[in-house]
Amino acid sequence: GYRVALQGNFFGHNHTYVTFPEYNPRKHIKLDPPLNIQSNATASKCHIWWSVVPWYLAEILQYELQYKEYSMSWEVALNKTLPSSLPQIEIEATEFRSGITYTARVRCKVSENENSYHSQWSEWSQTAVFQRADVPKVSEKILNTKTMQYLFIPLSFGTLLYLFWSCKLSSRRQKGSPALTFPHQLLSFSHSIVCTMGILR
């Protein structure tokens, strides 16, 4: 620690003012901003990373990330305080709009949980520019086939119920045996199912 004092001559008299009786530089640090901020954006995540100086403090630092649309002002930027001391972050791509260019920057300070050092926030780093990758479009043919497959089961079930009730009603109106009517209709429907499955495949 150090003893910091100011000394001066006022009206012909020397005066000394003790500013800090016990000054410890480790408690009054302002770090340099993070360096080499880089980014890699895909259709699902955006990965941003950087490096710090001095490296021996890396494990006790905390970071704050700020990002915005490139054309917007920093006053409307979004902030994220990172939960760990790792010099990187992954952000879900759903937080970004497709086709829009974004820019990000980061700053650091000693963690509040650290007792050996204390610091204020550094200046903001240089910026990294990135853009969310486009989500690959599903081909229209595959989409139509999947739609038909999803609709096939409820339609088949509904048709079976319709045939069952129509046979039951017709058996009441006719004197013939219902056992001869329902199997014939069920056989025709089964043939239709087989043909439809062949088309879907």
The helix or strand, by DSSP H or E, that contains position 7, with its residue range, turns out to be strand 2-10
Whether 46 and 93 map to the same domain: the answer is yes
Whether 79 and 120 map to the same domain: the answer is yes
Residue 164 lies in a domain: no
Give me the domain span that covers residue 4: 1-27
Q: Nearest 5°: CA angle at 49, between 32 and 104? A: 75
Domain boundary among 87, 104, 132: 132
Domain count along the chain: 2
Residue 35 lies in a domain: yes
Indicate which CATH number applies to the domain containing 119.
2.60.40.10
Whether 6 and 64 map to the same domain: the answer is no
Domain boundary among 88, 115, 132: 132
Whether 16 and 66 map to the same domain: the answer is no
Give this prediction's pTM. Answer: 0.60
Domain boundary among 132, 157, 175: 132
Whether 22 and 94 map to the same domain: the answer is no
Whether 10 and 92 map to the same domain: the answer is no
Could you list the pLDDT tens digit for every one of the 201 residues in the chain? 899 899 888 788 888 888 888 889 888 899 999 999 999 999 889 999 999 988 888 899 999 999 999 999 999 999 999 988 999 999 999 999 888 999 999 999 999 889 889 999 999 999 999 998 775 554 444 555 656 666 657 666 667 776 666 766 666 655 544 444 445 554 555 555 545 445 445
Whether 21 and 42 map to the same domain: the answer is no
- DSSP character string of 100-128: -EEEEEEEEEE-TT-SS--EEPPPP---E
- Count other Cβ atoms within 10 Å, centred on residue 89: 20
Give the separation between CA 123 and CA 37, rounded to whole angstroms: 14
Whether 128 and 35 map to the same domain: the answer is yes
Whether 21 and 39 map to the same domain: the answer is no
